[in-house]
Every structure is written in structure tokens, then in C-alpha cells.
Amino acid sequence: MAPTMTLMTLTATAPAPPVASARRLFTAVDLPLWLVTMPTTSRTGARGEQTFAVRALTYTDALDAATTTAYDHPALRHRRGAHIDPASAYATLHH
């Protein structure tokens, strides 16, 4: 008796791509509170710091928001002309 061959066809289906969910919009109260501190130097050479409380989703977003705030009139007035160094800023997540 001659051997018989059976052919099998395998088919694979790719899983459906995940449905793109709508991007969630956050209100200010939904965002974490960060304390961003930037070193300052006065005209006389005295060193200090200025800290900004900002709400942001990420560390980088917090630094960006604080840098923007650092150049607003109230922050400038508070520093009394002291130079601020945003490049040396650091952020801490407030609990």
C-alpha cells in the first residue's frame, strides 16, 4: 500500500490593532504638583533660590512651566532684579 500524503494549510490572522483612545484632557487639579527650584544671584553676588509651585504631568513639563513663570512680572519683581538660572533648576514632586 502506497503512503498517502495529507496537506494541511495553516493560516494566521493578525490581531486587530488597538483602538486609538481619545487623549484624556487633564484639568489643573488632576495634574501632580511640582516644586521647581531655581538658583538666583543678586546684583551684589548674593546667592539664593526661588521656588515655583506648578502643576504638570511630567518632570520636563514642570521645568518648562516654571521657567515660563520665572520670567513673568510678579516673579521678576519678587527677585528684585536677581539673575535666575533655569538651566540649573530641579523639580520635586510634592506629596
Q: Classify domain 29-93 by CATH number.
A: 3.10.20
pLDDT of residue 11: 47
Q: Calculate the CA dihedral of residues 36, 37, 38, 40 and round it to 10 degrees.
A: 150
Nearest to 32 by CA among 61, 55, 52, 63: 55
pLDDT of residue 26: 67
User: Structural domain boundaries of the chain?
Assistant: 29-93
Give residue-wise pLDDT tens across range 20-76.
555 667 677 889 999 999 999 999 999 999 999 999 999 999 999 999 999 999 998
Confidence label for 7 from pLDDT (cuts 50, 70 and 90): low
